[in-house]
Chains A and B, each alone.
Chain A
């Protein structure tokens, strides 16, 4: 266990559904991240939060909506997704945004049907 917990581990959703991914870290870190991992592609950074403030949005479509209510929790709200959005979504945290030692959760395997 890395101290970063993601739920659910697996999710199947239709294109008209709304769902949320949850991430919780118990490391006392101030920075949290969402990454997308697709087959045969490098991890892609989606969002960066520092002390609950979004500091980077990496040109992610608006059908992905992040929320960071406090420094320990991070959500990714999903709506009207496309089949090409099927991927492993990984949450990570680091002590600060300027500290690049990131610790990852197990990921949520998302399938859009």
Chain B
């Protein structure tokens, strides 16, 4: 079983839709949870950073962490074509030091 599971998609939605991206994980020591956005031919860009359980909102983006279910989500409201990218979840904690464990990434396309 992979430490972090993420549905690779692809996911295609119309402009203005609410997008829900999810990851599950198996390591209960994970405490830090991140979402990265990666455009084609670019490096990953840090989008959201959350510590432990709870919600965090930044503009159109909301990150949720449910440690009891080992489940994290990223919601994108009023999605735009410019949101089309691959979204990567990442997490760390426990004895993993600075090591980030990534999901496979979900390819999202928002069409006009």
Name A residues whose Cβ lies closer than 8 Å to a Cβ of B.
2, 4, 6, 31, 33, 40-43, 45, 48, 50, 55-56, 58, 90, 94, 96-107, 109
CB <8 Å contact, A42 and B102: yes
Name B residues whose Cβ lies closer than 8 Å to a Cβ of A.
2, 4, 6, 8, 32, 34, 36, 41-46, 49, 88, 90, 92, 97-105
CB <8 Å contact, B100 and A102: yes
What are 25 A-B interface contacts by the 8 Å CB criterion? Answer: A2-B43, A6-B43, A40-B104, A41-B104, A42-B6, A42-B88, A42-B103, A42-B104, A42-B105, A43-B44, A45-B99, A45-B100, A48-B97, A48-B98, A50-B98, A55-B97, A56-B97, A58-B99, A94-B98, A99-B98, A100-B92, A101-B34, A104-B44, A104-B45, A106-B41
| New contact pairs (14) apart from A56-B97, A102-B98, CB-CB < 8 Å | A4-B43, A33-B98, A40-B8, A42-B4, A42-B103, A42-B105, A90-B43, A90-B44, A100-B34, A100-B98, A102-B46, A104-B43, A104-B45, A107-B43
Q: Given A40-B104, A43-B88, A97–B98 Cβ distance below 8 Å?
A: yes
- In the bound complex, how far is the Cα of B36 from the Cα of A41, in angstroms? 15
